C-alpha cells in the first residue's frame, strides 16, 4: 500500500468511491442510450411510436433519477466531463418522446442542465439544438418572450455550425412563437423559410408540421380556403409517413378552420379523430387541448353545459401535465361557457383565475384575451365603466407589445361600450381606427365585425348611405370567409336598402 498523509482520503475509501462512480456512470450512460433508442423509435413513426412510449412508461422513474444524478455530478471534479456528456445526451435525445410523459417544468430542467453541459463541453451545435427545445418548454409554461430569445440564439448557432436541420427547427419554432404573440404574417415568413429547408432535405415529417403551421397562420389572416388546403396536404403527408402526432395536428387544424367558418358539426368530427390519436399515443397535453376544442365546438352548437364537461377535463389534464398556458385557456373557456349560460358572475371568477396565470407566466396573448372577456362580462352585468377599464388595459397591452391585431379588437370593444353609454360619435371614432388597423394587418374577421358595428352606429346617427356602405363591406367579408354572420347581415342590408 502506498504511503499517505493524515487528512488525505484513505486509499481504500478512494477506491470504493471510484468504483461506485464507475457503476453510476455505466448506469447513467445506459439510460442516456435508452433515450436515444426511444427517440429513434419515435421518429420512425407507426408502431415505433407505441414501442417508444412503452419503453418510456416502463423506465420513466429511472430516467428521471439518473438525469438528476448526472446534472448534480457535473460539479464533481472526478465526474464533470462524463456527467456533462450524459446530461447532453438526455437533453438532445429526450425532448420529443419524453414530451409526451414529462411534466413541462421537469422537461425544462432537463434542457437547462443540457445547456450547461454543452457550454462546459464547448458543443455549439448541441447548445443550439437544446436552446430550441428549452424555448418550446418555456413557451408551454407561458414565457413566449424568453422562448423567442432562445429560438433566435438557436438559429444563430445553427447557421454558425452549418446545422441545417437545427436551422429549420429554429425557424419553425420562431414562427410558432410569433403566431402566439399575435403576428401571423411574421410567423408565415419564418414557416416558409423552414419549409424550404425541409423540402431540400426531403424531410417529409418536418414538411408536414410546417404545412400545418402555415395553415393555422393563414386561417388567422382570414383565409380559410388556403388554410384547408395546407392542412389537407399536411394530413396526407402524416398518414403516408406513419406520423400519428402529425396526423392529429392536421386534424386539429381542420377542426379549427371548420369551427371558424360555422361548421361546428364538421369540427366535432375532426376533433374526435384527433382525440382518439392523442389518447392512443398517450399524448396527454394534446388530449387536454383537444378536449378544450371539443368544448368550444359544443358551445358553438348551443350546448354550453356539455362544453363545460369537456373544459373541466381539459383543465384537469393541463394541471396534471404542468401546461400552465393550457390551464389558463381551459379556465378562459369555462368562463365563456358559463357566460353562454348567462352566469356572468361565475364567468368573472374563471376569468380572474386565468388572468393570474397569464400574468404569472408572462403570457401576454392570454392576458389580452382574458382582459377582453372580463370587459364583455362586466358589460353584460351592467357595469359599463368597469368594462371600459378592462378594455383600456387590453388596448394598452396590445400597444405595448406592438400587437396591432389585438389593438384593433380592443378599440372595437371600446366602441361598443361607448355606444351602449350613448356616446355613438365616440364609438364611430373608435370603430374607424379599429377598421383601419384590421385592414392593415389583414384581419378579415375583425374587419367584418367592425364594419358591421360601424354600419349600426351610422344607422343610429341617421347616416343611411354610410350605414349601407359599411354593411355591404361587412357582408362581402363575411361571405368571403364563410362567416355564419353573413345571413343576418344580408337580411339587415336588404331591409335598409328597401327603406325609403
Residue for grid cell 389518447: 279
pLDDT tens, the chain, 500 aa long: 445 444 445 444 444 545 667 888 888 888 888 888 888 887 776 677 678 878 888 888 888 888 998 888 877 665 678 889 999 998 988 676 666 677 778 888 999 999 999 999 999 999 999 999 999 988 877 677 889 999 999 999 999 999 999 999 999 999 999 988 778 889 999 999 999 999 999 999 899 999 999 999 999 887 889 999 999 999 999 999 888 889 999 999 999 999 988 899 999 999 999 999 998 877 888 899 999 999 999 999 999 999 999 999 999 998 887 778 889 999 999 999 999 999 999 999 999 999 998 888 767 778 888 999 999 999 999 999 999 999 999 999 888 877 788 899 999 999 999 999 999 999 999 999 999 999 987 888 899 999 999 999 999 999 999 999 999 999 999 998 888 889 999 999 999 988 75
Q: Is the dihedral of CA 359, 360, 366, 371 positive or negative?
A: negative
Domain count, the chain: 1
The C-alpha atoms of residue 144 and residue 138 are separated, in whole angstroms, by 7
Domain assignment present for residue 466? The answer is: yes
Q: What is the pTM of this model?
A: 0.72
Is residue 378 within 8 Å of residue 348, measured between CB atoms? yes
Whole-number pLDDT of residue 435: 95
Residue 480 domain-assigned (yes or no): yes
- Would 494 be classed as within a structural domain? yes
Burial class (CB in 10 A: 0-12, 13-18, 19+), 156: middle
Query: Is residue 57 assigned to a domain?
Result: no
CB-CB contact of 221 with 478 (8 Å): no
Q: Indicate whether 337 belongs to any domain.
A: no
| Residue pair 452/488 in contact by the 8 Å Cβ criterion | no
Determine, yes or no, domain membership for 270: no
User: Which own/partner contact pairs does 74-81 have at CB distance under 8 Å and 24+ positions apart?
Assistant: 74/113, 74/116, 74/117, 74/120, 78/17, 78/18, 78/21, 79/21, 79/25, 80/120, 81/121
Q: Please name the residues in contact with 218: beta carbons below 8 A apart, sequence gap of 6 or more.
A: 184, 188, 226, 227, 230
C-alpha cell read off for 188 = 408565415
Q: How far apart are CA 38 and CA 54, in angstroms?
A: 9
CATH number for the domain harbouring residue 386: 1.25.40.10
Instruction: Look at residue 104 and tell me if it is in a domain.
Output: no
Contact present, 275 and 287 (Cβ < 8 Å): yes
pLDDT at res. 121: 92
Q: What's the burial of 61, exposed, middle or buried (CB within 10 Å: 0-12/13-18/19+)?
A: exposed
Range of the domain at 468: 382-500
Query: For residues 333 and 315, what is the distance between their CA atoms, to the nearest angstrom?
Result: 10
pLDDT of residue 235: 97
332 part of a folded domain: no
**What's the rounded Cα separation, in Å, for the pair 255 and 249?**
10
Amino acid at each position: 500500500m502506498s504511503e499517505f498523509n493524515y487528512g488525505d482520503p484513505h486509499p481504500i475509501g478512494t477506491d470504493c468511491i471510484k468504483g461506485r462512480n464507475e457503476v453510476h456512470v455505466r448506469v447513467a450512460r445506459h439510460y442516456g442510450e435508452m433515450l436515444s433508442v426511444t427517440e429513434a423509435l419515435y421518429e420512425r413513426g407507426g408502431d415505433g411510436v407505441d414501442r417508444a412510449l412503452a419503453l418510456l412508461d416502463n423506465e420513466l422513474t429511472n430516467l428521471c433519477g439518473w438525469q438528476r444524478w448526472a446534472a448534480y455530478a457535473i460539479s464533481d471534479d472526478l465526474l464533470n466531463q462524463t456527467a456533462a456528456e450524459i446530461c447532453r445526451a438526455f437533453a438532445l435525445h429526450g425532448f420529443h418522446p419524453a414530451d409526451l410523459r414529462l411534466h413541462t417544468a421537469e422537461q425544462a430542467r432537463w434542457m437547462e442542465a443540457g445547456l450547461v453541459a454543452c457550454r462546459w463541453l464547448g458543443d455549439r451545435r448541441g447548445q443550439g439544438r437544446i436552446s430550441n427545445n428549452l424555448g418550446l418548454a418555456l413557451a408551454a409554461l407561458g414565457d413566449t418572450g424568453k422562448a423567442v430569445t432562445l429560438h433566435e440564439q438557436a438559429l444563430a448557432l445553427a447557421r454558425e455550425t452549418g446545422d441545417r436541420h437545427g436551422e429549420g427547427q429554429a425557424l419553425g419554432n420562431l414562427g410558432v412563437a410569433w403566431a402566439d404573440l399575435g403576428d401571423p404574417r411574421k410567423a408565415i415568413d419564418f414557416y416558409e423559410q423552414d419549409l424550404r429547408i425541409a423540402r431540400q432535405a426531403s424531410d417529409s415529417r418536418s414538411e408536414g408540421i410546417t404545412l400545418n403551421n402555415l395553415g393555422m397562420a393563414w386561417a388567422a389572416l382570414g383565409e380559410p380556403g388556403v388554410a384547408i388546403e395546407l392542412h389537407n396536404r399536411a394530413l396526407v403527408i402524416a398518414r403516408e409517413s406513419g406520423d400519428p402526432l402529425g396526423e392529429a395536428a392536421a386534424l386539429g387544424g381542420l377542426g379549427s378552420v371548420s369551427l371558424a367558418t360555422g361548421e361546428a358539426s364538421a369540427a366535432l368530427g375532426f376533433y374526435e379523430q384527433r382525440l382518439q390519436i392523442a389518447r392512443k399515443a398517450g399524448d396527454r397535453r394534446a388530449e387536454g387541448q383537444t378536449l378544450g376544442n371539443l368544448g368550444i365546438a359544443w358551445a358553438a352548437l348551443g350546448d354550453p353545459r356539455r362544453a363545460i364537461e369537456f373544459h373541466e377535463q381539459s383543465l384537469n389534464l393541463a394541471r396534471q401535465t404542468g401546461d400552465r398556458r393550457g390551464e389558463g385557456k381551459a379556465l378562459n373557456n369555462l368562463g365563456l361557457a358559463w357566460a353562454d349560460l348567462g352566469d356572468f358572475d361565475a364567468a368573472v371568477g374563471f376569468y380572474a383565475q386565468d388572468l393570474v396565470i397569464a400574468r404569472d407566466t408572462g403570457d401576454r396573448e392570454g392576458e389580452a384575451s382574458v382582459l377582453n372577456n372580463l370587459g364583455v362580462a362586466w358589460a353584460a352585468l351592467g357595469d359599463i365603466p368597469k368594462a371600459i377599464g378592462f378594455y383600456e388595459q387590453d388596448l394598452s397591452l396590445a400597444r405595448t407589445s406592438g400587437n396591432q391585431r389585438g389593438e384593433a379588437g380592443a378599440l372595437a370593444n371600446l366602441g361598443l361600450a361607448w355606444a351602449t353609454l350613448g356616446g355613438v360619435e365616440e364609438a364611430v371614432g373608435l370603430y374607424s381606427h379599429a377598421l383601419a388597423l384590421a385592414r392593415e394587418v389583414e384581419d378579415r374577421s375583425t374587419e367584418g365585425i367592425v364594419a358591421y358595428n360601424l354600419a349600426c352606429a351610422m344607422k343610429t346617427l341617421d347616416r343611411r348611405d354610410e350605414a349601407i356602405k359599411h354593411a355591404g363591406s361587412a357582408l362581402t367579408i363575411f361571405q368571403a370567409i364563410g362567416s355564419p354572420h353573413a345571413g343576418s347581415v344580408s337580411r339587415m342590408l336588404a331591409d335598409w336598402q328597401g327603406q325609403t
